[in-house]
Structure 1
Amino acid sequence: SVGTLVPLVAVQTVEASAAAIYYLDHSTMVTAALFILADLIGKQRGKVADRLTVGRPVTQPVLLGFGFVIAAVAAIGMPPLSGFIAKIWLLKATFNSEYGVVF
């Protein structure tokens, strides 16, 4: 995330700043969702919690698995979700700048 935001700070245009804020908000929300999912999985596993050992299975495997897949797809920026929009906006903001060749 930081490696993506550094070029936008270097460009210093209004478009780049807006894209950086949008991308920062998106990545923060997706990371928070992944942490919440990890906490839910840890609570459902009982005493084992989040350790990588054999423990009891989770009580909602389909819901937690589906939530993880959606959050992971959003984190990598695949097309129907907001991560894709953020990355396209990042590219558009840097393409027309004088530093576009460097990025």
Structure 2
Amino acid sequence: MVAEITSDTFEESVLKKKGLVFVDFYADWCGPCKVTGPIIDELAKIEAYNNISFGKLNVDDSMDVAVKYNVSSIPTCILFQNGEPLDTIIGLRDRKGFEEVLKKHL
């Protein structure tokens, strides 16, 4: 499952969470984000990634978080570990591209 994360829930959902959290920074009007979203949904269902929490954050609704993590282009995905940014993917990737990053940190 991919959780909807907001400015109000970011600290609890990402910063205080132990382990890996993969956050998809997106906007409803962003064409490439509409391609990325379903890929992230698929990845969240794969058993090999059960130890990763997946979330999505709408940058229009939570601009403060996007600014804090220097998200200037979307889609941007940030993999956090124990509340700290570990890896960043900027731009559209296919499923294999996302999996390469995730597998690197398992």
Question: What's the TM-score, normalizing by structure 1?
Answer: 0.23
Q: Which has the higher helix share?
A: 1
Structure having greater relative contact order (Cα 8 Å, sep ≥ 6): 2
Q: Which has the higher strand share?
A: 2
